[in-house]
Structure 1
Amino acid sequence: MIRLFILGFMTLCLSALNPAVHAQPDGPASSTALRQTLSLDEGWRFHPGDIPRDSFAGGQGVNLYGPDITYHGAKAGSAWGAAARGYDDKSWKRVDLPHDWVVEQPFDEKALKQQGYRPRGIAWYRRTFKLPASDRGKNIELQFDGVATHCTVYVNGTEVHHNWSGYASFQIDMTPLARYGDDAVNTIAVRVDAEDAEGWWYEGGGIYRHTWLVKRSPVHIATDGVYANPVKGADGRWVIPAEVTLANIGSGTASAAVDVGVFDAAGRRIAGSRSAPVRIVSQGDTVAKVAVPVAAPRLWSVESPNLYTVRTTVLRGDRAVDSVDTSIGFRTIRFDAQKGFLLNDQPLKLQGTSNHQDHAGVGVAVPDSLWDFRLRKLKEMGSNAYRTAHNPPAKELLDAADRLGMLVMDETRHFNASPEYLKQLRWLVRRDRNHPSVILWSLFNEEGLEVNEEGMEIARVMNAVVKQLDTTRPTTGAQNMGQLGADGKANPKNAAHSVDVVGINYQADEYDKIRAAYPDKPIVSTEDTSQVMTRGEYTTDWSKVVASYDDVYPGWATTSTARGAWEAIAKQPSFAGGFSWTGFAYRGEPTPYGWPSASSHFGALDLCGFPTTEFYVRQALWVKDRPVLTLVPHWNWAGQEGQPIKVLAATNTDTVALYLNGKLVEEKKADPFRMVEWQVPWAPGRLEAVGKKDGREVARFAVETTGAPMALRLTPDRNALAGDGRDAVPVTVEAIDAQGRPVPTANLAVALDVSGPGANIGVGNGDPNNHAPEKGDKVTIYNGLAQVILQSRRGGAGSLVLRATAAGLKPSETMIGVRAVPALPSVPVVAQ
């Protein structure tokens, strides 16, 4: 086996020197052969609520200092209570991560409105495992991708970490504290404090992103230590100026070099270079640098998101000791004061949405595959850009954005130049700077200090920190309260002067003045619209629902509609584009109402990802390569015969002719922004629109009066799952009439039953006033739609079957194939 590895590695080295070898299949073993990255997600013990510190005396239970003196909790390895190694957690609930305990809580009118009326608080997690004696001498690192909100971590009874942001990942070198061998159990305890809030939206609570245990050589690539962002030179040639941070936990100074190979989608090495050796002192780190020329790569774009793999291998002499794979893309970006945004030297208007990170049924504990689902929905709408409002995203979202071709405005949580928060900013840039999808670093959102010298200085420091780590992407800040362009004169001391791209939240009526005040700076609308509507509702009830006609908006939105917001941006040719508020609805901040509304009425898609009217409006505004035509509302208005019904055609066609039961109502010219509306006296039957371009029919769309619900229908987003215990799929639940047509006015209870290698992990229906549990075997169809999220079982294979029943309706059943896949490498759970 060793001989085979050496032969493979020699092939790698030769391919770097001999261009003739570049087209050959990948010779060396994958990067995972040199380090172990093991999932820690399974088998945690969970306890809601705090535990008194004196509930258990930790350490060895031996007082070495006499009967009247105790040092428990103050000495390494001697933590008290649930943090202690020997604490009995057998009665605690067993959970797998990611886990959001807050989404499981009942709604409480007395709880925080901004957090969606869900009680939060404090909870504990514990996990035990063993390390074989063969791991002694390796670097052992714990990695937490996200814990909401603040937390304290203990390893083997020693307090090792405090985390001050629920959105920042953190790593813990547990090498000095690790215990090895069959008789030694390692214990991780995490006290999560979700009483505090970092934001004014639903943040959940718990270890809601993935956890990992990484084992690697004493000399190794530090976490987030590869910087391999391709750059196109003035001569048109591409090069990867790779920088690799090498760490050394060994007892003496070490020497190492790095080989950086570039592999295409077929696994062929197309380029590579080797650095000069560098010296790394014990318990220190250093950066190895090497330039890797790459000839004629396929470019990454929103239409063709071509990706390559950079494999960085650490060499000590001729021996490979560590390796990391990094996904990259070749593309150029530029923000220009006159031309807006350019991708690969071609102007591209940013058709963006802002989004929080929760989803129906699962809260913030979003399965990886749901990020793909959500981005695909946004791309279907015509969106090409995504703002991670107002915090760093899950890394899996950026991976999905890279694969699917979605541009990202990557935003930090805290506008703060103190050491702790600059540390969080550095982490964000180091983690995300290789993603081709990331085009902007956002330093703040609507900060009170942004309007004065203090804010200008904070932004200046943060901007400098970003530039130390990445000079290829500009910075911005989402600025509103500064009145950036009042009277055409910019405040000489505000945060906009310290960033590269001026970001505007709303203020559409000031666009011309802001442009005049910053003639030499690129400008982007970092947030706009804030249009509110409730999916499937077409009559406003000012206590809880808003009609879905794109005509209601809060006072801070200075344009009347989503259509008006985009029109204002589109008519500023120098603007890079904009990010609407929001793509998906979210829990908390239940604008425009409070209780009983527990989630926002913003969103082109609701909490489940079902389209609202704004989805179709955006589609008509943004999609350029095909005709778009959709009618709203539905045509089920029994009891309103002869009464006028407002009808909106969301379209990019030139004209629309509207027919009711085959009779022409009226043909109208469609405004490219306002589109076209009618008042139509209601009669049952078929309402049909015909769209024309240049006098030729290019699109038809119809709504019909349906019958009463007769049966249920289940439609999964995908028909197959990987049996890895992580893959998940949303399933749409509908009520249909006797002719198989969805009934858009159906509101009824549905019982659910799941069998096979998987489980129902959450339900929802997009109703912002819904207070039903999001976990369980029941869901209510709201205005025709509901959703069930199914997840495979680890090691599962076979047929996962979901069955839905409702009183008086024909039941429905859907089958999803679960395919056997290699088990995700993970840390076995052991009893303490």
Structure 2
Amino acid sequence: MRKISHYFTLFLLFTTLTAYSQTQSRKTVSFDKDWNFLLGDDHDAMKVEYDDRRWQLLDVPHDWSIAGPVDRDNPTGRGGAFFPDGVGWYRKAFQVPAADKGKRVFIDFDGIMANSDVYINGEHLDHRPFGYVSFRYELTPHLKYGEENIIAVRADNTIQPASRWYTGAGIYRNVRMVTTQPTHIDHWGVFVSTPEVSKKNAKVKVQTKVVNTSSSEKQVRLITEIQDTEGKKLKTVENTQKIAAGGSYDFDQTTDVKNPKLWDIGQGNLYRTVSKVFIGNEEIDLLETNFGIREFRFESATGFYVNDRNIKIKGVCLHHDGGGLGAAVPLKVWERRLNLLRDLGVNAIRVSHNPFSPEFYELCDRMGFLVMDETFDTWTAAKNHGEEGYNLHFEEWWERDTRDVVMRDRNYPSIFIYSIGNEIRDNLDSPEGFRKYREQQDLIHSLDPTRPVTMGLFRPNTQNVYDNGFAEMMDIVGQNYREEELVAAYHQNPERKVLGTENAHGREAWLILRDNPFMSGQFLWTGIDYLGEADWPQISHDFGLLDRIGGIKARALERKSWWADEPVVYAVRREDNLGGGELVVDWTPKDFDTYDVAHIEVYSNTEEVELFLNGNSQGVKKVPADASPVRYDVTYERGTLEVIGRNKGKQAAVHTLKTAGKPYAVKLETDQKEIENRYHDISHVKVYVVDEAGNRCPNADNLINYEITGSGKFRALDNGDRIDHSSSKGVRRRVYRGEGLAIVAATADEGSIRIKAVSKGLQPAEIVLTAKPGNER
């Protein structure tokens, strides 16, 4: 064996973060390094004496399915993007110091896909079918202190088709080991709320559950410090309580924060509580909790408010994959994606249709995004192309899974609402349908009374939910698509608070949100293209504002003209002659000989626009009040297309497109030249095929050969092409519409990372990055 050492007003939202540093009382260490992996099944693999020396050595997070091969006959089918299914085993050897004997040792998994079984020294700990849930197991009774221990994990994705979208496979999220004293703060045991908030004062309430697993009663003192956004101590609250052996106690502590900096959209102001547990004068536990102070509410007549400011929720739905990365997605990828979406005017995210990783919510906290947190895509009724999914487990597991989701996620400032289902096919016009909804909503309210609950209703009129009392049971009435029905449902009962939980990109849906004060917001399907839910030979569908590598589509520019605060103007054209084909953001036809008349759409939030072709005006036009595009039909000419948007006669925005010449060279650009040597930091290296003047060639599909040397490696190659089946884990991939993406990670704490891109007949390109130390949480 290889040895490897209610409800509708939320005044405060927050996130509990373990102190990822080693203290005298609590140790939390990353458990991501040095796992042995086997793709295949071996029922002896949980045994301590099992020989795993031939297994692959790797780090997690790890998604083995994304390596492919893509095959039309793979059982995952269209939902799983035709990627492979199977069983994967992970094993890791580790030691626990003899000095830790008598303490409690836990292992925390942020997510295993799916149907996981975990073993410690041959003993089975438990089984979890839901691949999106975080969970903890205690290792204490099974450990050998000062000796080698073996943890083994089996993840089974053979029960297919299990999902309508790509899930990934394996230990695809982070793992941690936590060591505490017998008396300690319980898992997810800190809960912060504020019953009162104003600009002058916030009342902060901290609820802390302390457990005593020792054999004797303990006199416990809990000290909670409140720190401001810069780490300065503001207040200290102290309470003492006797806790019986094997018992627990829920502390309630309340204090004030004067003149708080409010958490808001785009303003991730985070305070912190530091919870310290003492027995006598000895500190036996410490836990830090970030939180943000803010008020929000829904009003039936006027929609949604943040900090007493009426706003529209301008949201997008997202699936959890990262394109060529699969389900194991470094946080830097999400940071780039969210920045791109924010530039389009997006202020909210719906996690679809399952909980995301903890660090995703932490990122939304810091960036100031609203989040709809969603539990399940199905209850008991199956859906097409996901017949073997969570519907098989709902009755047995919904309560435990929901409890774990809410206990973990109730602490994130970004989350403003929970959704307990998406287009549920169970009969909602029945006592059973009422019961299933009510039980989930009641459980969430008991665990987190600070946030409302909704669901994405599916064709509600066919299930009679607007007439049978079901909608009145919901905190917030959420509906997918059919926006006119939701408007009618509001007018049927103006006491209802309504929200579009999933919406199309079209202008009609936007106008319903824009022109109806009672409409709280909408969530577009989707923000970014995702793997799965696509018919062969496609592996992803064209639903996003952005493609898989962050390329901005024409519909995204139109959306920005509706959602952005600053003046914008953009010109796009129909790809084919006389108005045929897709809308594209370029001035380079595929066939110059047959492209005679260009049909152009101009998107702008200015008062008027003027289009120029090679300096010649094509006319000034007013921007319609109904948000429709300004249209021009022009005889095509090579050269420069420019559109200017004006307010009160003055230029406010401009957009220029240029005809590209023949492909001449490869060009590389990066979003950061220094990469920390840790999992969650990467560099996005954009790859372009350009003409001699440096213009992107939008019709190029050249095969690029990538080379990397020095202190780095490729995490993935991608191009956004929905029918490209080549592996993202290789060193060759074509560009799509003249673009590609290499995701690069550091492999050392220092040194250069040299990347070269070569393509036959083109000038090569080279870029040098730098590795630097990074502390992995």
TM-score where L is the length of structure 1: 0.85
CA distance in structure 2 between the aligned counterparts of 1:33 and 1:266, rounded to whole angstroms: 24
Contact 1:128–1:186 (Cα < 8 Å) also in 2: yes
Match of 1:262 among 210, 213, 226: 226
Letter in 2 for 1:174: L
User: Is 1:644 aligned to 2:597, yes or no?
Assistant: yes
Cα pair distance change 1:415/1:262, threshold 3 Å: farther
Residue 439 of structure 2 is matched in structure 1 by 461
Distance 1:234 1:262 in 2: 18
Give yes or no for the alignment of 1:762 onto 2:736. no
Any conservation in 2 of the 1:83–1:157 contact (CA below 8 Å)?
A: yes
Shift of 1:576: 0.6
In the TM superposition, residue 418 of structure 1 has moved relative to its aligned partner by 4.2
Q: How do 1:288-299 and structure 2 match up within 5 A?
A: 288-299=251-262
| Alpha-carbon contact 1:153-1:191 (below 8 Å) kept | yes
Query: Which residue matches 1:49?
Result: 40
Which residue does the alignment assign to 2:636? 682
- The secondary structure found in structure 2 opposite 1:566 is helix
1:612 pairs with one of 553, 575, 587: 553
2:143 and 2:609 map into 1 onto residues whose CA distance is 70
Which of 435, 438, 446 aligns to 2:412? It is 435
1:21 is aligned to none
User: How far does the alpha carbon of each residue in 1:485-527 deviate from its partner, in whole angstroms, 9 at most, with x for none?
Assistant: 98xx922143x33320000100123233111233212100000
- What one-letter code is carried by the residue in structure 1 that aligns with 2:422? N
Question: Residue 412 of structure 1 aligns with which residue?
Answer: 375
CA positional deviation for 1:380: 1.3
Find the aligned partners of 1:518 and 1:749 in 2 and give their Cα distance.
Answer: 58
Alpha-carbon shift at residue 602 of structure 1 (Å): 0.7
CA distance in 2, matches of 1:509, 1:234: 37
TM-superposed CA distance for 1:371, in Å, is 1.9
2:119 maps to 1:141: no
Deviation at 1:249, TM superposition (A): 2.4
Q: 1:296 & 1:652 partners in 2: Cα distance?
A: 37
What amino acid does structure 1 have at the position aligned with 2:93?
A: T
Give the letter aligned to residue 651 of structure 1: S
2:474 is aligned to 499
**After the TM superposition, which residues 328-339 of structure 1 pair with which residues of structure 2 at under 5 Å, given as runs?**
328-339=291-302
Equivalent pair of 1:31/1:323 in contact (CA under 8 Å): no
- Alignment of 1:564 with 2:508, yes or no, is yes
C-alpha distance in 1 between matches for 2:176 and 2:434: 38
**Would you say the 8 A contact 1:354–1:579 is kept in 2?**
yes
Cα offset, 1:678, TM superposition: 2.0
Distance 2:148 2:526 in 1: 47
| Paired residue type of 2:269 | N
Matched residue SS, 2:240: coil
Matched, 1:490 2:431: no
Cα distance change, pair 191–777 in 1 and its aligned pair in 2 (3 A):
same
Q: Secondary structure at the match of 1:727?
A: coil
Residues 699 and 286 from structure 1, CA distance in 2 versus in 1: closer, same or farther, beyond 3 angstroms?
Answer: same
How do 1:324-473 residues align onto structure 2 when only pairs under 5 Å count?
324-413=287-376, 415=379, 418=395, 420-449=397-426, 451-453=428-430, 454-473=432-451
Q: Which residue of 2 aligns with 1:815?
A: 768
TM-aligned CA distance change 1:278 to 1:504, over 3 Å? farther
Asked if the contact 2:751/2:770 (under 8 Å) is kept, the reply is yes
Query: Counterpart in 2 of 1:301?
Result: 264
Counterpart residue number, 2:654? 700
Name 1:158's counterpart in structure 2. 123
Q: Post-superposition shift, 1:723?
A: 2.1
Aligned to 2:587: 635
* Residues 1:805 and 2:749 aligned together: no
Give the secondary-structure state (helix, strand or coil) at the position aligned to 1:154: strand
Moved more, 213-222 or 381-390: 213-222
User: Matches of 1:693 and 1:160 in 2, distance apart?
Assistant: 66
What is the aligned partner in structure 2 of residue 128 from structure 1?
93
Query: What's the offset of the Cα at 1:450?
Result: 5.4
2:426 aligns to what SS in structure 1? Answer: helix
Q: Shift of residue 484 of structure 1?
A: 7.8
Please state how far the C-alpha of 1:271 moved relative to its aligned partner.
2.0
Q: Following the alignment from structure 2 to structure 1, what is the Cα–Cα distance between the partners of residues 199 and 660?
A: 63
User: 1:66-145 residue pairs with structure 2 within 5 A?
Assistant: 81-111=44-74, 112-145=77-110
Partner of 2:690: 736
After TM superposition, the structure 1 = structure 2 runs for residues 194-233 of structure 1, keeping only pairs within 5 Å, are: 194-196=157-159, 198-232=162-196
Q: CA deviation at 1:756?
A: 2.1
Tell me if the contact between 2:219 and 2:240 (Cα under 8 Å) persists in the aligned partners.
no
Contact 1:352 1:580 in 2 (8 A): yes
* 1:459 CA drift (Å): 1.1
Aligned partner of 2:486 in structure 1 is 511
Over aligned residue pairs, what C-alpha RMSD do you find?
A: 2.0
Aligned partner of 1:584 in structure 2 is 528
Q: 1:151 to 1:746 in 2, by over 3 A?
A: same
Give 3-state SS (helix, strand or coil) of 2:324's partner: coil
Checking the alignment, whether the CA contact within 8 Å between 1:657 and 1:667 is kept in structure 2 is: yes
Contact 1:32 1:324 in 2 (8 A): no
What is the CA–CA distance in structure 1 between the aligned matches of 2:595 and 2:188, rounded to whole Å? 65
In structure 2, relative to structure 1, the CA distance for the partners of 1:517 and 1:281 (3 Å cut) is: farther
1:711-726 residue pairs with structure 2 within 5 A?
711-726=665-680
CA distance in 1, matches of 2:144, 2:371: 42
More moved, 762-771 vs 477-486: 477-486
Partner of 1:481: 459
The answer to whether the 8 Å contact 1:485/1:511 transfers is no
Distance 1:156 1:507 in 2: 54
Distance apart, 1:320 and its partner CA: 1.3
Structure 1 gap segments, 5+ residues each: 1-27, 54-80, 532-560, 826-832
Question: Distance between the aligned counterparts of 2:427 and 2:261, measured in 1?
Answer: 41
Q: Which aligned runs of 4 or more in structure 1 are off by greater than 6 angstroms? A: 28-31
Bigger mean CA offset, 91-100 vs 247-256:
247-256
- Per-residue CA distance 1:509-554 (angstroms, 9 max, x = gap): 323311123321210000010x5xxxxxxxxxxxxxxxxxxxxxxx
CA contact (8 A) 2:428 2:463 kept: no
CA distance in 2, matches of 1:354, 1:636: 32
Given that residues 212 and 243 in structure 2 are in contact (C-alpha distance below 8 angstroms), is that contact kept between their aligned partners in structure 1? no
CA contact (8 A) 1:260 1:292 kept: no
| Correspondence for 2:503 among 528, 546, 558 | 528
TM-score by length of structure 2 reads 0.90
Is the CA contact 1:760–1:791 (under 8 Å) kept in the aligned structure 2?
yes
Distance in 2 of aligned mates of 1:647 and 1:587 = 31
Structure 1: which amino acid aligns with 2:509?
Answer: A
Give me the whole-angstrom Cα distance separating, in 1, the residues matched to 2:234 and 2:182. 30
Aligned partner (choices 190, 206, 210) of residue 246 of structure 1: 210
Rounded Cα–Cα distance in structure 1 between residues aligned with 2:571 and 2:248: 58
Deviates more, 1:353-362 or 1:259-268: 259-268
Would you say the 8 A contact 2:199–2:260 is kept in 1? Answer: no
Q: For the residues of structure 2 that align with 1:769 and 1:41, how far apart are their CA atoms? A: 33
Counterpart amino acid of residue 786 in structure 1: G
Residue type matched to 1:349 in 2?
K
d(CA) in 1 for partners of 2:107 and 2:256? 35
Give 1:17's aligned residue: none
Per the TM alignment, residue 280 of structure 1 is displaced from its structure 2 partner at its CA by 4.4
Q: 1:801 to 1:450 in 2, by over 3 A?
A: farther
Matches of 1:668 and 1:405, distance apart in 2? 37
The structural deviation recorded for 1:251 is 2.1
Deviation at 1:419, TM superposition (A): 5.6
List per-residue Cα deviations over 1:300-320 (Å, max 9, x = no partner).
Answer: 111322111211111212321
